[in-house]
Structure 1
Amino acid sequence: MPESSTALSTPYAEFDFTPGDLARLRFAFSPVSEAVGSLRTLQDPGRHALHLPWIRGVRPRLRAMDLRLLFALAPLGAYIPDFLTPPPTGPLPDIAAELDLVASADPDEAAREVARVPAADTRPVQEFLADPAAGTARAADQLRQYWDTALAPYWPQIQGLFESEVLRRSRQLTREGAAVMFNDLHENVRWDDGVLRVRTMAWRRDGPLCGDGMILVPSVFQWPDTLVMAEPYQPMLIYPAPGVATVWQQGTVPTPDALDALIGRTRARILVALTEPGTTVILARRLSMTPGAVSQHLKVLHAGGLLTRNRSGREVFYGCSPLGHALCGRSCY
């Protein structure tokens, strides 16, 4: 999977969208893609200073793990083997199902992809290439162990950010259209008259999507860049989700004194924390409160006209109403 970089004006991956492709455009998020992205974060903490709270927390727990194969398959640079990040197959992410896809990847295709990585001459990669079927199974097993240690404890707040982002982008696509939505995703991404261009570092692509559509995947660990995938896989664009820093910031939400006096400090913290829609669980983790306590305050704020409520599947997302945004001193998005 080539990585995009704002430092280069070319090349581009270009995708010509038909009406059928737009109809098949969907959002999803991927636990295994986040795991792979986080491996690169660990290798270059200086470039990903935003994630230092997570890095400091997980490094001591990873010391006993052998991560040489995973680091070799996901090195710093322009390319990651696509079999490590299979496109999400549904709206509800399942790490076990995604790891099964990694383990069962086509050995020949996986070998072709792995041969392209910059560390192709290292021992872990050479062992992979000697037996790709065993290599994909080994990579999936190590990813599973890594996930349990490094990401599973943090997944609820990461997933909460993704759920809010998917809801917001889906609304934006419906209300404002593809051009506005795509051009708002990232500076590497541009939409012009039915053609999507994604700036890349390592490859070129042009031509139609042929009715396959595209998956748009928000990411925490891909920040600040983008990734794009194409044939022979389902086309997929991974972009950094806005508000990444809030994933690691729990408990402290500064509030204006006047707002504290008007509605109380706890309700002011909840209102200020809702820069984007979120569920009760998302807010509870963000504010280090119990879901029950958050729920009671949300009911009062909603009854007072300061919040909106929208259901997405089984989840209820709360967002600031125009009045709520005004009280917080910000404009509605």
Structure 2
Amino acid sequence: MRAELALSVGDLARMRFAVSPMWEVGPSMRLLRSGHEHPVHRAWTAQVRPRLAAAGLDRGRLAELVPPSGYVPDFLNPAPPGPSPTFGEELAAIRASPAGRVRGELDRLRDQQGRLGPGLRDLYDDVPRLLERVVEEIEAYWEVALAPYWVRIRAVLDADVFHRARQVAEHGAGRLLGELHSSVSWDDSALRLADRHAPLSRQAVGAGLLLIPSVFTGPVPFTRLAPPDPPQLAYPARGIGALWEPRPVVRGGGGALAAVLGRSRSLLLAELGSPATTTELAGRTGLSAAGVSQFLTALRGAGLVSAHRAGRCVLYARTSVAEALLTAPSDRPPAS
């Protein structure tokens, strides 16, 4: 089935991009719950699924809100007010969702799924109190599944927006809309989406068009039409194929970085290509757990490492500053 969304000149004038943390939460949770081994995200799912189960997040209210297929309540994806809302700003918008709207979207979810799970039945009966519990689950999921990887994810999303903005500048909005995805086309008056089972109504949403790149959305774009917000179209970002590829880094045995940080600290940074716990890093490097903890504290204080609570464990990840240090080419001239 093909759906059409009419766009006026005014809508095109209001078209904009946004990078949205919540547009990574829902699609990534769906991927984890599906049980499928995505060819691109296989390394990520292998790391995150066990942590998700250990934290009990694979069976809470968030898991009920994001079924393996079908509708996801729109209040989980508030319209970004700017180009890059923070995760905290989006959570605040979810907290502010009117109870009547939440219940209406839960009704729609129940109609599609046939029933609501026990957690969502409780939410339906007490939205003001339990919506905060949902937000707490989203925060916990973020720390386990996305925050340790956000530097890499954000780099892909920003690169996509840069490419699309240049595309508009050089070729116009029509070229952009026609090349977002193979299932999306543009004919100078309407945006057409293939493989969509529900109609798109211009009258049901606000003016403009909000385009949101996502590394976990796929294989087809997702849409959100919730008045009075503009329609949102979340599409697979360019460059996803290289998202989890290992990056060349300066190893800890020598070099300028090791001379500044010390061999052990630079070695730990090199090992944090994938987020890890103190125990995992000790096993990989041969350093004592106490030594690793001490070095990580120093690296965190210097802004090179971030820490993320995952159940009873803490995951450490490189920051964007550390990524730049580890991947920057050396300026040292070759030996004569």
**Would you say same fold, with TM above 0.5?**
yes
Q: How far does residue 58 in structure 1 lie from its aligned partner after superposition?
A: 1.5
| CA–CA distance in structure 2, aligned partners of residues 66 and 60 of structure 1 | 10
- Give the aligned residue type for 1:243: G
* Partner Cα separation in structure 2 for residue 290 and residue 43 of structure 1: 30
How far 1:88 sits from its partner (Å)?
1.4
In the TM superposition, residue 135 of structure 1 has moved relative to its aligned partner by 3.3
Aligned to 1:230: 225
Counterpart CA distance in 1 for 2:79 and 2:85 is: 11
Contact 2:206 2:230 in 1 (8 A): no
Cα 1:153–1:289 shift into 2, 3 Å:
closer
Equivalent position amino acid for 2:233 in 1: L
8 Å Cα contact 1:21/1:212 also seen in 2: yes
If asked which structure has higher relative contact order (CA below 8 Å, sep 6+), I would say 1
1:85-140 residue CA offsets vs partner (Å, 9 max, x unmatched): 11211122300110111111111111111222216332122112111223322211
Q: For residues 122 and 204 of structure 1, what CA distance do their matches in structure 2 show?
A: 27
TM-score using structure 2 length:
0.70
2:48 corresponds to which of 51, 58, 63: 58
| C-alpha spacing 1:73/1:163, structure 2 compared with 1 (3 Å) | same
- Structure 1 window deviating more from structure 2 (81-90 vs 228-237): it is 228-237
Gaps of at least 5 residues in structure 1 are 1-9, 254-280, 301-333
Cα offset, 1:252, TM superposition:
5.9
- 3-state DSSP of counterpart to 1:239: strand
The structural deviation recorded for 1:50 is 1.9
Residues 30, 69 of structure 2: 8 Å contact kept: no
Distance 1:167 1:290, change over 3 A: closer
* Bigger shift: residues 129-138 or 236-245: 129-138
| Correspondence list, 1:33-112, <5 A | 33-46=23-36, 48-67=38-57, 68-112=60-104
Structural mapping, 1:303-318, within 5 Å: none
Q: Which residue of 2 aligns with 1:114?
A: 106
1:11 CA displacement = 4.4
- 1:272-287 mapped onto 2 (5 Å cutoff): none
AA matched with 2:15 = L
2:190 to 195, 218, 236: 195
Distance between the aligned counterparts of 1:42 and 1:89, measured in 2? Answer: 28
Distance in 2, matches of 1:62 and 1:186, equals 31
Q: Structure 2 matches for 1:158-197, cutoff 5 A? A: 158-197=153-192
- Of 19, 25, 29, 1:29 maps to 19
Q: Distance in 2 between matches of 1:115 and 1:298?
A: 61
User: How far has the Cα of 1:82 moved from its partner?
Assistant: 0.5
Return the alpha-carbon distance in structure 1 between the equivalents of residues 148 and 323 of structure 2: 17
- 2:324 aligns to what? 291
Larger radius of gyration: 2
Query: 1:85 & 1:207 partners in 2: Cα distance?
Result: 19
Secondary structure of 1:63 counterpart:
helix
Contact 1:189 1:196 in 2 (8 A): yes
Quickly say closer, same or farther: Cα 1:219–1:132, change in 2 above 3 A: same
Change (3 A) 1:170 1:58: same
Unpaired segments ≥5 residues, structure 2? 250-303, 305-317
Q: Which amino acid aligns with 1:42?
A: L
Give distance in 1, aligned partners of 2:205 and 2:72: 25
Structure 2: how far apart are the matches of 1:172 and 1:90?
Answer: 20
User: How big is the shift at 1:60?
Assistant: 2.7
Name the SS of the counterpart of 1:88 in structure 2. coil
- Counterpart of 2:12 in 1: which secondary structure? helix
TM-aligned CA deviation for residue 290 of structure 1: 5.2
C-alpha distance 289-83 of structure 1, shift in aligned 2 (>3 A): closer
CA separation in 1, counterparts of 2:69 and 2:104?
A: 18
CA contact (8 A) 1:45 1:55 kept: no
Q: How far apart are 1:223 and its partner, in Å?
A: 2.4
Change in Cα spacing, 1:290 to 1:46, as seen in structure 2 (3 Å) is: closer
- State the distance in 1 between where 2:194 and 2:331 align: 42
Deviations 1:52-97 (A, max 9, x none): 1111112232233232211110102221100011121112230011
CA contact (8 A) 2:8 2:189 kept: yes
RMSD of aligned C-alpha atoms?
2.9
TM-score when normalising by structure 1 = 0.71
Residues 1:53 and 1:298: Cα distance change in structure 2 (over 3 Å): farther
Aligned to 2:147: 152
Give distance in 1, aligned partners of 2:175 and 2:50: 43
Q: Is the 8 A contact 1:220 1:244 kept in 2?
A: yes
Deviations 1:33-57 (A, max 9, x none): 2011111010124263321111111
Write the distance in 2 (CA, Å) between the matches of 1:131 and 1:210. Answer: 28
Which whole-Å CA distance do the structure 2 matches of 1:212 and 1:79 have between them? Answer: 23
> 1:2-21, aligned counterparts within 5 Å?
10-12=1-3, 14-21=4-11
